[in-house]
Chain A
């Protein structure tokens, strides 16, 4: 199992912590001196950059939220003058004003380094032909992966997203061995490839997927359909884009690039830092961003930190699969429901396809959840009771995992929406 930067990724933990502290002090100083938001927040909390004497002192610094970033749109968090900024990205802004990210030349180099590590851990090498099926737009995904894969020496096919049949023909003709996409788009591509009958002519080595949370069950399904190793990586526009963390071949959590990011887990309600291993909200601090440093950014992502050594040899800590973004959490009749819980149940069911849609409605002040799934097993058409049993089986399994009754509707294949970028599977009609 190859490691891109052994010195950084296998660093002794004490050495790493010393490096993190040194970088943290510098980042806090810069943020305080050059970004009004951080200065105001710290002044209000009565904290000065000099108060950071150890890594644990980070808990004195106030959190930054998505709302803060929105209020300082577009360039309020930049720490350098525009002449030093060489790239501007922005999040899709589907849930409000977009969030911007400004990069200096050095930031872009660091970004490429982060991706080179993540992609190497995911199996990419200089011998590979990598197809980037993320949109080359303001979105950080495509450009982020692009420069990191180029650093490794992959032959890059910058195809962008969309036009799925063409994507598959290119995969077949060019001999693509590495696919970069969202897990949901990779699943759609697999469906189309099977329909076109080209899967046998496509020889994928690894799928390096990210930009949206997915479940272990979805990974298994993607590995089965593409016949290759699938790893997941993590990042967010607010911190960098992709490249914050990524899985290695062991696929047991995503290795954090800890020399560039400091990760904490907090109780999302009290804001208290939780010990390693406990589940809570991930909070990230950038340790080397120049253009737009981040101090204790609340990601809304729910996960835990894995500290046990990984079989791959890297010494870095890992974050477990994101079980849900607290923004995605649905509160149904007082019960917290994550769409990922529903997905993990559906993907283990036989007879239905991997696509689904969740619809939330409200009647007489009561919330209802409906899940639409596609019936694909025609053998069930012989008897009505087979279909009804399938429905009941799914309802029961969902009740066991989620804890509430969810209506299950069977629909014809290909009637549910497919996604070329991030999937949007929840329709909230409340």
Chain B
């Protein structure tokens, strides 16, 4: 029902991101989806990866602070208003969104939005009830 995401801490200094992406490349880890949020001092990379277990092992062994958590991956129509309808649904049910990021992997009509909400179970239930398809780990990784 939920998708596993990896969050990684990176300080904002020259070359740190390049070091990180090289680590993924050298370990043959594929990024399914990625977002980077940052302040002037540091950033948090949030990503869904092809092989979560292996990625987590490689990343923590390389000395990064990293964490796994669950997020919702919702399929929305790739057209104006597609994201709005999902956000409206969550908002109407009083579920607050901590952050979200999107990715388009296929040439199909649908986009996938990754949501981190406070009440995961409730969020998923509300969206499914409104007809939104919530993707599983397997589905996301096979996109």
Binding site for B on A (CB under 8 A): 375-379, 381-384, 387-388, 391, 409-415
Chain A's closest residue to B98 (CB) is: A383
Contact with A along B14-50 (1 / 0, CB 8 A): 0010000000000000000000010101101000000
B interface residues, tally (CB under 8 Å): 20
Would you call B42 and A415 a contact (CB within 8 A)? no
Task: State the Cβ distance, A386 to closest chain B Cβ, in Å.
Answer: 10
Would you call B65 and A375 a contact (CB within 8 A)? yes
Would you call A412 and B37 a contact (CB within 8 A)? no
Chain B's closest residue to A407 (CB) is: B41
Task: State the Cβ distance, B96 to closest chain A Cβ, in Å.
Answer: 12
Would you call A379 and B67 a contact (CB within 8 A)? yes
Would you call A413 and B64 a contact (CB within 8 A)? yes
Distance between Cα atoms of A377 and B67 in the complex (Å)? 9
Would you call B67 and A411 a contact (CB within 8 A)? no
Distance between Cα atoms of A413 and B16 in the complex (Å)? 13
Task: State the Cβ distance, B115 to closest chain A Cβ, in Å.
Answer: 14
What are 28 A-B residue pairs whose CB atoms fall within 8 Å in the complex? A375-B9, A375-B65, A378-B7, A378-B66, A379-B67, A381-B8, A381-B9, A381-B44, A382-B7, A382-B67, A382-B98, A382-B116, A384-B44, A387-B9, A388-B39, A409-B11, A409-B42, A410-B11, A410-B41, A410-B42, A411-B11, A412-B10, A412-B11, A413-B63, A413-B64, A413-B65, A415-B11, A415-B63
Q: Does B91 contact A (CB under 8 A)?
A: no
Known contacts A387-B42, A410-B42, A381 near B66 by CB under 8 Å: yes
Task: State the Cβ distance, B43 to closest chain A Cβ, in Å.
Answer: 9
Binding site for A on B (CB under 8 A): 7-11, 13, 16, 37, 39, 41-42, 44, 63-67, 69, 98, 116
Known contacts A381-B44, A384-B39, A410 near B67 by CB under 8 Å: no
Residue in A384, A391, A412 whose beta carbon sits within 8 Å of that of B65 in the complex = A412
Task: State the Cβ distance, A353 to closest chain B Cβ, in Å.
Answer: 10
Name A's interface SS.
mixed
Would you call A377 and B39 a contact (CB within 8 A)? no
Distance between Cα atoms of A207 and B76 in the complex (Å)? 61
Would you call A410 and B9 a contact (CB within 8 A)? yes
* New A-B pairs, 11, CB < 8 Å, besides A378-B66, A381-B65: A378-B67, A381-B7, A381-B9, A382-B116, A384-B37, A387-B9, A412-B10, A412-B63, A413-B64, A413-B65, A415-B63
Chain A's closest residue to B61 (CB) is: A195
Task: State the Cβ distance, B20 to closest chain A Cβ, in Å.
Answer: 9
Would you call A377 and B65 a contact (CB within 8 A)? yes
Distance between Cα atoms of A382 and B37 in the complex (Å)? 12
Task: State the Cβ distance, B134 to closest chain A Cβ, in Å.
Answer: 20
Q: For residue A415, which residues in chain B have a CB less than 8 angstroms away from its CB?
A: 11, 63
Would you call B7 and A412 a contact (CB within 8 A)? no
Q: For residue A378, which residues in chain B have a CB less than 8 angstroms away from its CB?
A: 7, 9, 65-67
Chain B's closest residue to A412 (CB) is: B64
Task: State the Cβ distance, B74 to closest chain A Cβ, in Å.
Answer: 19
Distance between Cα atoms of A204 and B37 in the complex (Å)? 44
8 closest pairs, A vs B, by CB?
A: A414-B63, A378-B67, A381-B7, A411-B11, A381-B67, A378-B65, A375-B65, A375-B9
Q: For residue A381, which residues in chain B have a CB less than 8 angstroms away from its CB?
A: 7-9, 44, 65-67
Distance between Cα atoms of A384 and B81 in the complex (Å)? 28
Task: State the Cβ distance, A387 to closest chain B Cβ, in Å.
Answer: 7
